[in-house]
Structure 1
Amino acid sequence: MKGHKLLVRRSAVPLPTTTGASVPVPASVRESPPVDLAEAFDFLRLLHGEHPEQRVPLRARMRQVRQSVETVGTYRHTPEELTFGARVAWRNSSRCIGRLYWNSLKVLDRRTAVTSDQIHRHLVEHLRTATNGGRVRPVISVFAPETPTTAAPRVWNSQLVRYAGYRLDDGRVLGDPANVAFTETVRRLGWRARYGRFDLLPLVVEGADGQGPALYDLDPRDVLEVPLTHPEHRFFAGLGLRWHAVPAISHMRLRIGGVDYPLAPFNGWYMGTEIGARNLTDSDRYDLLPAVAAGLGLDTSREDSLWRDRALVETNVAVLHSFRAAGVRVTDHHTESRRFLTHLAREEAAGRRVSAEWSWIVPPMSGGITPVFHRYYDEQEQRPAFYLDEEARDRAEGRAGAPAAAGGGGDSGCPAGRHAPDDGGAVPPARAVPPLGAPAARPAAAGVPLSGCPAGGVPAGSDDHG
């Protein structure tokens, strides 16, 4: 089924033009300063230090980069530099427990894509490549960077696959409460609500051609989802739960050697607790612990019955069982904790320091009985890196019309399908998208690294990977 695109009228969302630009530049795109040569040279030294077999010697490559930056304000990474930089950004992600396989990250160079249609096709291909028939593999798609003279593409979604959340008249939420504001945004752009608990949200894509945002519906064939059952309790299947296989973050900015890539969606595979101990059970998400406890016949009148704990464990058992029964790659928090210590040992043996934040590395369930709990970690900013900033969060939280933050950058979406309006009629013209309420509290300031974790690792207060 061919993907459908709904172009939003350029007047629908305020998209002021950057001074001196030849095409209208989205509000989400700030004017990029010239590349910091010191940061560029540090990156090149790192690459040549770990991979001295480069075709162009270090000093010659530094001269090329200097000349380019002095001429046009930026430089273009070679395919080898792009691959190495993306992999090291994962290696440096201090809030990610799943870094053992950083060097296996598949890097897809999509820097020539300009239009929203081209970008959309690559995003769908990313999902197909990452899904890999259920044998989920880590993948990153790197699109064109910001430069002093050209706009970079963007995806408004926080992840490539997200479920809609609908605010009902009585105040309750149907679906995922985390996505209520963004669901309202895409509805104002013309997307029609299905009013299901697990409706796939469309992608909102801004190309680098100044044509404004475009809306693409999801094709369920491009999104592998796993129905959730329990190996012992039959009632669980009756809850009608499911979750998608690929956690692809699409709203984080990749920075390599001073060059920013606002659109660089990346994924790994799920750690079971991300779904079973957060997405499905947090009180501000699907809040399923009461329903699971009822199915288990637990006493919920007293906290000391530990009904929440028992329901939480069985929910996580169901997630791991269901993914494995469906042949979809998943990991448990005990295994991933041991793998992280293996990663630490390998990096230390290579003479590299590993930055890690304890509160993000320790799993959100049974933390005290995992090996990552019982030690301290170094915390330091390392580059290349992934960043999440205010501007990207504004788009992902439904504040698309908000001014760009002073730190700039990019941040997380889904695949394409035929748009089918509820009433079978034409899609109505897009309306202006005003800011949706006051900004929510944010743990990260503009330009501060957030999760950057393609595989595993979710702290208190996090949502999936970031």
Structure 2
Amino acid sequence: MTDLTAADAVTDAAAYAEAAAFLLGADWLTDSERTVRTVAVRAELRATGSYRHTPEELAHGAKAAWRNHARCVGRLHWKALRVVDRRHVTSAEEVFDACVGHLRAASADGRLQPVITVFPQRAPDGSAIRIWNPQLIRYAGYRDADGSVTGDPLHVELTDMAGSLGWQGRGGRFDVLPLIVQMPGEEPRWFELPSDAVLEVPLAHPEFDWFAELDLRWHAVPAISDMRMEIGGIDYPACPFSGWYVGYEIGARNLADTDRYDLLPLVAAHMAIDTSYDSTLWKDRALVELNRAVLHSFQQAGVHLVDHHTVTRQFVTHEDRERRKGYPVSADKHWIVPPLSASTTPVFHRAYETIEARPNFFRQPAAWR
């Protein structure tokens, strides 16, 4: 490495170490093939400052990233992840088209499939494609004159940003935001998602007829689009991935949190529960019925999601399988334990350690910041 400065040598060594550690897990290669591939990766790193994964490496890495992600309770199904390689795209239109294709494939007429669509990796100069939306499907939040919000308060800032780019929403509670794509060196552009790519479920209750009159709904596919995936030292800042919802993500968080749709007071009022004292447990009773409505509605619509008791049992199955293989199980208990009936689920009673394993998914700052 006589042509490198000392700092370059350190960077080269660190990048090579990440790549070599990842390639050790390439169990589809023979020992001799792995040696040849490792030498080729090092040469590519020296020549360009980066290297490109083979399709097999990308698929293995994406599945391993899901397997290692400490905040996901649904990792039992990590091997079933469908990896869509879109590393060849060069325009915002192509990114948008691929995202629409992702949503259509993941929806599967309600038989949801785990899918990740991977766009080009971060360039050696740090430039990268970014999808501004935290999920491919999100609802707008409009600021009202009295300081309240119509729609989802979580996405007021993104709604404002979309408006500054020329998008005009209808002002409703469940307006689907446009997809905002920014290519390296270009201004962001917005694209309206076609209706056939946005599978939504209207919400009703198995016993309360009045619930349907609340005119609530939620989208079926949770497609995370603002995280970066790291595989063998390579960053993929645009890689939307999706599985299916756990019921409480909708019923106990999106629709119930006080800084989101804050529906518990409304549901309690329709149930004629005394809300003047916390000791009436009105929040608990309204929360359970809101979650019953979500589970019932998705089931009636033939759209897959899972309840918190089932998914936590599945996680314990996953955990036990991994431990038998000698594979470390990382879990962030704040995310693994459900916000509903926590102590009735098996994960509440287990201890977990959060390990920052790689490959993995990581948070990144909002693109507009």
Aligned ranges 1:128-207 → 2 under 5 Å: 128-149=104-125, 151-207=127-183
Task: Please state if 1:381 is matched with 2:363.
Answer: no
Aligned match of 2:300: 325
Aligned match of 2:21: 42
Aligned match of 1:306: 281
Q: TM-score, normalised by structure 1?
A: 0.75
Higher deviation after alignment, 374-383 or 241-250: 374-383
Aligned ranges 1:370-409 → 2 under 5 Å: 370-389=345-364, 391=365, 393=366, 395=367, 400=368, 402=369
Distance in 2, matches of 1:211 and 1:355, equals: 38
CA-CA distance at 1:380 after TM superposition: 1.4
The higher-RCO structure (CA 8 Å, 6+ apart) is 1
Distance in 1, matches of 2:121 and 2:199, equals: 30
Q: 1:62 to 1:333 in 2, by over 3 A?
A: same
Aligned ranges 1:303-452 → 2 under 5 Å: 303-389=278-364, 391=365, 393=366, 395=367, 400=368, 402=369
Match of 2:137, SS state, is coil
CA-CA distance at 1:220 after TM superposition: 1.7
Equivalent residues of 1:119, 1:207 under 8 A apart = no
Aligned match of 2:207: 232
Distance in 1, matches of 2:146 and 2:354, equals: 45
| Residues 398-430 of structure 1: per-residue CA shift (max 9 Å, x gap) | xx2x3xxxxxxxxxxxxxxxxxxxxxxxxxxxx
RMSD: 1.3
Match of 1:42, SS state, is helix
Match of 1:199, SS state, is coil
| Higher share of residues assigned helix | 2
CA-CA distance at 1:218 after TM superposition: 2.1
Match of 2:189, SS state, is strand
Aligned match of 1:20: none
Distance in 1, matches of 2:348 and 2:46, equals: 48
Distance in 1, matches of 2:189 and 2:282, equals: 46
Q: TM-score, normalised by structure 2?
A: 0.95
| Residues 251-272 of structure 1: per-residue CA shift (max 9 Å, x gap) | 0000000000000000110000
Aligned match of 2:36: 60
Aligned counterpart for 2:62 among listed residues 86, 93, 96: 86
| Residues 36-73 of structure 1: per-residue CA shift (max 9 Å, x gap) | 1001000000223xx4459x711111000011001111
Aligned counterpart for 2:221 among listed residues 217, 229, 246: 246
Distance in 2, matches of 1:305 and 1:322, equals: 27
CA-CA distance at 1:212 after TM superposition: 2.2
Q: 1:282 to 1:91 in 2, by over 3 A?
A: same
How much identity, in percent, do the aligned residues show? 53
Letter of the aligned partner of 1:140 in structure 2?
I
Instruction: Work out the number of aligned pairs and report it.
Output: 358
Task: Please state if 1:257 is matched with 2:236.
Answer: no
Match of 1:57, SS state, is helix
Match of 1:66, SS state, is helix
- Where structure 1 has 5 or more consecutive residues not aligned to the other structure, the ranges are 1-32, 403-466
Task: Please state if 1:122 is matched with 2:101.
Answer: no
CA-CA distance at 1:337 after TM superposition: 0.5
Match of 2:361, SS state, is strand
CA-CA distance at 1:377 after TM superposition: 1.1
Match of 1:270, SS state, is coil
Equivalent residues of 2:100, 2:193 under 8 A apart = no
CA-CA distance at 1:153 after TM superposition: 1.2
CA-CA distance at 1:211 after TM superposition: 3.3
Distance in 2, matches of 1:221 and 1:252, equals: 25
Letter of the aligned partner of 1:172 in structure 2?
S
Letter of the aligned partner of 2:92 in structure 1?
S
Match of 2:201, SS state, is strand
Aligned match of 1:280: 255
- Where structure 2 has 5 or more consecutive residues not aligned to the other structure, the ranges are 1-10
Distance in 2, matches of 1:53 and 1:158, equals: 39
